[in-house]
Structure 1
Amino acid sequence: MVQPNERTILIQRNATSYTGDNTKPRRVVVLDVFRGLLMVLQSLDHARSFLTALTEHETWYSQPVYKDLVPSISRLVTHLAAPGFAFMMGFGIILFSESRLRIGWEINKLLKHYIIRGLTLLILNAYFMIFGIIYVIDSIGNVSQTPKSIEYETVDFGLWRFIWLLPGEYKWLFSMYPPLNWLSFTIFGILYGYITLKQAHNKRYNRNLNLKIGIFLLTLFLAIRIPGKFGNINPELLPSPPPGTLFNNPYLTSILQFVNAIKYPPDLSFITLYMGLNHLILAFFYSIPSSTPYSILNYFIDFLFSGPLLAFGQSALFFYMVHFHLYLIMGLILTFLFGSNQEPPYSIDSWQFWSMWIFGLALLWPMCIKYAKFKSRKEPDSLWRFF
């Protein structure tokens, strides 16, 4: 691993402020901040589902036509979260395994840790399902009401279709993220982590690599999207384009439709566009200097790399669990006070929705700081560190 110096060190000012232990190996702060950004975007999507009537989802079965700018952007920008999380899961496996092997863990202990972590996540998932607070339950209900073709109704796809391929509901099974589709992001993260492990603290290397990957993926997205056939799931779900549209491609009718890719399951356009943007965001974070001659910029840098994004990223699962309950409670209070929200999208005034979303993040910030300090005092194999 390269030695930290003026040219290569990552921005780590106050990086251990939430852990209170400067003797431990320093984390790659950029990755924590990036993970924190993904958490914020995810919370926007969930808050939108709990606090507004806007519930469109881009699926194999139906695709919304986005027209209004604010509701559309508030949905599309959150698409960065799911592939980013799956990618970071794979990347995190490499970083975590390397750090634990370095302190003397054996392979058997490492495998035991991952088994326990997986079982813990399954239990947490069951909790969310039992109490019905995963917002996509509503979306799958909408999907189930979408008219299906005669062929669809007469073919029994069976259980494995929902486990491996498409989102849906089959008897006792509910599957919104079939593993065969999303595993590719995690495998890519593992490969990326393996390749970059020895350069984890080399700022220039990671900036250039992420920039190249991002540009390559976005170029591939254009090559797929402009013709509108291969790599685009069911473009016929959208209204027919006006006569004379290039390639008769409905995705070329507006900028919003151009970036409106199918997420459930992710088609190739979705993968290349949003993973390309994720890599450009990482490249941007790696490009930010540790200090500048300008005090205002230094304040921004300190806030970015020592503020809420760092706290959210270092307590990601804790944030995930708490923010669901927080915005759910907000939604229940609004329903109790004003009645069920049956109006068009954002019937709650925009400033009210955005204020409540930001207020929720403000409440989560100190909670995540305290939890990060709490778990840092636990042993490396403590269950509390899973969160």
Structure 2
Amino acid sequence: MSQTFTVSEDENYDKPRPKRLVSIDILRGLVMVLMTLDHVRIFFSNARFDPLDLTQTNVPLFLTRWVTHLCATSFIFLAGIAAYLSLQRGKTKQEVSSFLFTRGLWLVFLELTVVRFGWTFNVNYSATFAGVLWAIGFAMIVLAALVYLPTRAIAAIGITLIVGHNLFDNIQADRLGEWGWLWAILHEPKRLEILPGMRFFTAYPLIPWIGVMAAGYAFGTVFDLPQSRRRQLLRRFGFGLILAFIILRAINIYGDPARWAVQSSFPLTLLSFINCHKYPPSLLFLLMTIGPAILLLDLFENQKISRFIKPLVLFGQVPLFFYIIHIPLIHLLVILLAIPTYGLEAFAISLSKIPPDYGYGLAIVYDFWIIVVLILYPICNWFAEYKAKHKFWWLTYL
């Protein structure tokens, strides 16, 4: 039997509270911590350029950004797995579908309101963007319909969307006339003017992310198997996807809009090789991130709950709460640290308005990352204890 960690059931308090797989909680917690690193870097770094731009970046900065690619993919893949496991815990397909639909709508609402406020600290919603909660929310809404299909059909749909969506890379929203906005939501990051004076940026186009969640749901069947067989399959799938990435990337024909190229040095050439397209996530990007995520699930299967792992388990139990509070926390710290230099102008700092001369080197960025995670731990621990002691229906949505 796999090692488990007893926690309160997130979705239904009227039924017996089953045990959750600790490997999933650990990986989800690791994802939250890495995501925090990326968001701390965005606000605190003095490198005001794309860290993946090989003409400007350096290896540590590139890898600091690159390793956080694991986050969105893993979180959406795990959300699909969790949806399947909720069926195994006694829920009916109708109950799972209803929960996915309502939670999906809730996540989209949070993205466009609360999360956007955390990034900007203003209530002028004339400009907003569709981030990761938008993608997760709509993927859940689609999965709410897909769960009525056979699991193999859901797997086929997920794999088709992941493998095939790059065939449509050459389709541009601008060429589709009045339907261009729909293509931007589905496949092409684009700034839209939905109404006069109201702008909307589709940062996370939906098609591949829907595929990832559907694939995660189908992959949940692996967790029905005995531990020895499950771990064998986890290793096979994980290494298999990584090998598929290496082969397809080496061929350099299909799977990513940008081809890799030989650079002025071997390290830069290697960075070019692993620098895959995230917006939207290409086939190669997803192979490169889902493969390691699956291997981490295998690694965490027999992980003991040590004092070093316990924080990851905790963060993995309350990921949405963590996500909602970590952005305004980082934003607030930036403002407080900027006041001595910029005075009242520091309060205007936001995601899109960071002074060009503001920021710190990468070592200091890592220090701030650790500080933020340490602050988040007692807050998340309080919320986890509160959630375990209370049975309010609204807690299932946080």
- The question of whether the paired residues in 2 share the 8 Å contact of 1:36 and 1:312 is answered with yes
Distance between the aligned counterparts of 2:188 and 2:330, measured in 1?
28
Which residue does the alignment assign to 2:315?
312
Question: How big is the shift at 1:17?
Answer: 9.8
Which residue does the alignment assign to 2:183?
161
Which residue does the alignment assign to 2:88?
98
**Residues 56 and 383 of structure 1, relative CA distance in 2, 3 Å threshold:** farther
Which residue does the alignment assign to 2:239?
215
Which residue does the alignment assign to 1:177?
204
Map 1:1-387 to 2 at 5 A. Answer: 8-10=1-3, 12=5, 15-16=6-7, 24-54=17-47, 65=55, 67-101=57-91, 107-128=93-114, 131=117, 133=119, 155=175, 158-172=180-194, 173-193=200-220, 195-199=221-225, 202-235=226-259, 241=262, 254-288=269-303, 290=304, 302-305=306-309, 307-339=310-342, 341-343=355-357, 347-379=359-391, 382-387=393-398
Instruction: Give the alignment's TM-score, normalised by structure 2.
Output: 0.73
Write the letter of the residue equivalent to 2:362: S
Aligned-residue RMSD, C-alpha: 3.4
Distance between the aligned counterparts of 2:77 and 2:48, measured in 1?
25
Distance between the aligned counterparts of 1:124 and 1:354, measured in 2?
28
- The question of whether the paired residues in 1 share the 8 Å contact of 2:242 and 2:287 is answered with yes
Q: Which moved more, 1:360-369 or 1:167-176?
A: 167-176
Distance between the aligned counterparts of 2:297 and 2:26, measured in 1?
9
1:254 is paired with a residue whose SS is: helix
Consecutive unaligned residues in structure 1, runs of 5 or more: 1-7, 141-150, 246-250, 291-300
- The question of whether the paired residues in 2 share the 8 Å contact of 1:65 and 1:257 is answered with no
Q: How many aligned residue pairs are there? A: 332
2:191 is paired with a residue whose SS is: strand
Distance between the aligned counterparts of 1:167 and 1:329, measured in 2?
28
Write the letter of the residue equivalent to 1:121: L
2:20 is paired with a residue whose SS is: coil
Distance between the aligned counterparts of 2:174 and 2:215, measured in 1?
37
Distance between the aligned counterparts of 1:49 and 1:163, measured in 2?
24
- The question of whether the paired residues in 2 share the 8 Å contact of 1:225 and 1:269 is answered with yes
Distance between the aligned counterparts of 1:96 and 1:28, measured in 2?
12
Question: How big is the shift at 1:54?
Answer: 4.0
Alpha-carbon deviations, 1:11-40, whole Å to 9, x = none?
A: 54xx44999x9x732211111111000111
Distance between the aligned counterparts of 1:100 and 1:55, measured in 2?
50
Distance between the aligned counterparts of 2:253 and 2:46, measured in 1?
32
**Residues 139 and 67 of structure 1, relative CA distance in 2, 3 Å threshold:** farther
**Residues 152 and 209 of structure 1, relative CA distance in 2, 3 Å threshold:** closer
Distance between the aligned counterparts of 2:334 and 2:129, measured in 1?
14
1:265 is paired with a residue whose SS is: coil
1:9 is paired with a residue whose SS is: coil
**Residues 270 and 110 of structure 1, relative CA distance in 2, 3 Å threshold:** closer
1:286 is paired with a residue whose SS is: coil
Question: How big is the shift at 1:110?
Answer: 4.0
Distance between the aligned counterparts of 1:109 and 1:17, measured in 2?
18
Distance between the aligned counterparts of 1:139 and 1:127, measured in 2?
11
- The question of whether the paired residues in 2 share the 8 Å contact of 1:18 and 1:373 is answered with no
- The question of whether the paired residues in 1 share the 8 Å contact of 2:241 and 2:291 is answered with yes
2:119 is paired with a residue whose SS is: coil
Distance between the aligned counterparts of 1:262 and 1:359, measured in 2?
30
Distance between the aligned counterparts of 2:296 and 2:209, measured in 1?
21
Distance between the aligned counterparts of 2:298 and 2:253, measured in 1?
30
Consecutive unaligned residues in structure 2, runs of 5 or more: 122-126, 132-170, 195-199, 343-353
- Return the structure number with greater relative CO, CA threshold 8 A, min gap 6: 1
Write the letter of the residue equivalent to 2:183: R
Alpha-carbon deviations, 1:164-222, whole Å to 9, x = none?
A: 111121113321111112111101101011x22423xx433332211111111111111
Alpha-carbon deviations, 1:286-345, whole Å to 9, x = none?
A: 254x5xxxxxxxxxx51244x21011000000000010111011112233233454249x
